[in-house]
Amino acid sequence: MFFPRTLSFVAALVLAASCGTKFPCDAKSCPTGCCNPSSGRCELGSAADQCGANGASCTTCGAGQMCLSGACAANNGSGGGSASTGGGTAVMPTTFWYKDVLPITQVRCANCHQAGGIGPFPLQTYAQAKPMAAAMKVAVTSKRMPPWMPDTSCGGPFVDDRSLTQAQIDTIAKWVDEGAAEGNPAGAPAAPGPVGQLPRVDATMTMTEAYTPSSTRTDDYRCFLVDPALPAARFVTGYDIQPGVTAEVHHVIVYIVDRAAARTKDMNEAGPGWTCFGDSGLTSPGPIGAWAPGTGAVIYPTGTGIQLQPNQALAMQIHYNTTSGTRTPDQSAVKLMYAPQGTTPTSAYLIPLVGDGFMIPPNSTDYTYSKDFPNPTRALAIKVYGLMPHMHTLGKRITIKGPSDACLVDIPKWDFHWQSQYFRPQPFTVPATGSVTLTCTWDNPTSRMIRWGESTQDEMCFAYIYATL
């Protein structure tokens, strides 16, 4: 299931930087640039010696000419600031990497697009960005990048909204259209603080032994005991789950469990950890966090946290899916941030919404299922801060609504590879007698009836909501 993403990224790279002689360079593979006749590469098409667009052969502009929007135009030498596309009036770029683009990319792209990051190539320096400029324009104008799944008209704006404003998209597009000019390094913005990371890591817990997923089933659910060994109660205010082998870790849920019970469970089964379908297989007040592809570090809303007692430890439930064929030993880890000692945040809970009553008919499209979840306390209002919707790969759309149809989150184009917890700046109050509604839509191209299930081939209509009283 990870292949489509890899392929699209390879295709995009090819499109952007190097059609190479192995790939035909044409209007399809090089839509925004031109094809270098000697190398067969797709060039930006904005340099005077490699000018062109729509995958046409690059041309060299004559003396006194410059390349403007992919066409050679007279350079009247004015150097003026205003762009003009008609009449052959040449202009100098007005949008520059350091002054205009870097302030956007360093907070909206570089956290993923850096060495060791999840983005496939770094976008931190001009030298790295320039060859990717055409692809950057396509990625931001099509809103593929930065990846941000929630519809902006429902429930948001969420904390950590990664999407770009139209003005930011226009700036990047203009910079590319004008030839991706560097400008003066003196105009560079100050380096931002860490983006998308925990501001502080108080505990890092790694599976004590590596585990090789089962050779007899492709969906292997295994729980591993990781122990924060707290001498006194603490509140978890953030986490960063780090799957070891991302090609086989389908999801991770970190449950709070009783340490003694978990040790017994662990000892009673051979090999690292124990088998645990559905949940941890132990009584649990709930999870402290979850990871699915696309989830980064999660920081809980200020003043809230999930309490961990000294007699408690964590069971890291990992769903391994090995349909890709590899069975590599995995050693996943979880990093925690605690509230400073002596502070008492408001206790929060991750409440599961299990929409398991659906049956998706074979060869169907737009099959939709809804379920209402009454306020679990039935007696007190709850404040909903966070929402983490989850489906498998046939999911098309998932929506959570509050009473009176209040829209809490809507993922109009579900993408299994981009899953997150979305936090509201202000909580949404569900009254004691109120409920929330989870709605899922799928396409089922298979000839099987598909129901709720733990296997990747089954589906889910699920969400965690992060709430306090």
- Binding to ligand HEC in span 411-450, by CB under 6 A: 417
Contact call for residue 35 and ligand HEC (CB under 6 A) = no
Residues 6+ apart with CB under 8 A from 225: 208, 257, 259, 262, 263, 265, 266, 273, 313, 314, 315, 316
Contact call for residue 5 and ligand HEC (CB under 6 A) = yes
Stretch that binds ligand HEC, among 8-16, 44-52, 374-382, 385-393 (CB under 6 A): 8-16
Q: At closest approach, how far in Å is the CB of 108 from ligand HEC?
A: 4
Contact call for residue 243 and ligand HEC (CB under 6 A) = no
Q: At closest approach, how far in Å is the CB of 23 from ligand HEC?
A: 15
Identify which of residues 154 and 169 has a Cβ nearer to ligand HEC in the complex: 169
Contact call for residue 98 and ligand HEC (CB under 6 A) = no
Give φ, ψ of 254 to 5 degrees.
-105, 105
Q: Contacting ligand HEC (CB under 6 A), which of 68, 140, 236, 241?
A: 140
Contact call for residue 120 and ligand HEC (CB under 6 A) = yes
Contact call for residue 143 and ligand HEC (CB under 6 A) = no
Contact call for residue 108 and ligand HEC (CB under 6 A) = yes
Q: At closest approach, how far in Å is the CB of 16 from ligand HEC?
A: 6
Contact call for residue 223 and ligand HEC (CB under 6 A) = no
Contact call for residue 162 and ligand HEC (CB under 6 A) = yes
Residues 6+ apart with CB under 8 A from 295: 241, 419, 420, 421
Cross-strand pairs, 275: 222
Please tell me the count of residues contacting ligand HEC according to CB under 6 A: 26
Q: Contacting ligand HEC (CB under 6 A), which of 135, 181, 316, 398?
A: 135
Contact call for residue 53 and ligand HEC (CB under 6 A) = no
Residues 6+ apart with CB under 8 A from 212: 327, 328, 329, 330
Contact call for residue 118 and ligand HEC (CB under 6 A) = yes
Identify which of residues 132 and 438 has a Cβ nearer to ligand HEC in the complex: 132
Strand 249-258 to strand 364-374: parallel, antiparallel, or no bridges (unpaired)? unpaired
Q: At closest approach, how far in Å is the CB of 212 from ligand HEC?
A: 26
Contact call for residue 252 and ligand HEC (CB under 6 A) = no
Residues 224, 332: Cα–Cα separation, whole Å:
10
Residues 136, 357: Cα–Cα separation, whole Å:
42
Identify which of residues 9 and 277 has a Cβ nearer to ligand HEC in the complex: 9
Q: At closest approach, how far in Å is the CB of 165 from ligand HEC?
A: 11
For the packed helices 3-16 and 133-141, what is the interaxial angle rounded to 10 degrees? 130
Query: Closest Cα partner for 228 from 343, 309, 319, 339?
Result: 309
Give φ, ψ of 100 to 5 degrees.
-110, -40
Contact 90, 74 (CB under 8 A): yes
Stretch that binds ligand HEC, among 58-66, 117-125, 307-315, 425-433 (CB under 6 A): 117-125
Stretch that binds ligand HEC, among 43-51, 118-126, 278-286, 312-320 (CB under 6 A): 118-126
Residues 135, 143: Cα–Cα separation, whole Å:
12
Identify which of residues 123 and 334 has a Cβ nearer to ligand HEC in the complex: 123
Identity at 343, one-letter amino acid code: T
Contact call for residue 139 and ligand HEC (CB under 6 A) = yes
The helix (H) or strand (E) run that includes residue 133 is: helix 133-141
Q: Is 74 helix (H, G, I), strand (E, B) or coil?
A: strand
Contact call for residue 387 and ligand HEC (CB under 6 A) = no
What are the strands of the beta sheet with 395-401, ordered from one edge? Answer: 364-374, 435-444, 395-401, 407-411
The two structure tokens encoding residue 236: 């978890």
Q: What is the DSSP string of 261-281?
A: HHHHHHHTSSSSSEE-SSS-S
Identify which of residues 114 and 206 has a Cβ nearer to ligand HEC in the complex: 114
Q: Contacting ligand HEC (CB under 6 A), which of 99, 113, 222, 424?
A: 113
Q: Contacting ligand HEC (CB under 6 A), which of 31, 40, 103, 147?
A: 147
Identify which of residues 111 and 304 has a Cβ nearer to ligand HEC in the complex: 111
Identify which of residues 148 and 320 has a Cβ nearer to ligand HEC in the complex: 148
Identify which of residues 32 and 468 has a Cβ nearer to ligand HEC in the complex: 32
Contact 216, 322 (CB under 8 A): no
Identify which of residues 6 and 275 has a Cβ nearer to ligand HEC in the complex: 6
Q: What is the DSSP string of 328-349?
A: --B--EEEEEEPPTT--PEEEE
Q: What is the DSSP string of 42-54?
A: EE-SEETTEE--T
Contact call for residue 146 and ligand HEC (CB under 6 A) = yes
Identify which of residues 8 and 446 has a Cβ nearer to ligand HEC in the complex: 8
Can you give the binding site for ligand HEC, defined by CB under 6 A?
5, 8-9, 12, 105, 108-109, 111-113, 118-120, 123, 132, 135-136, 139-140, 144-147, 162, 164, 417
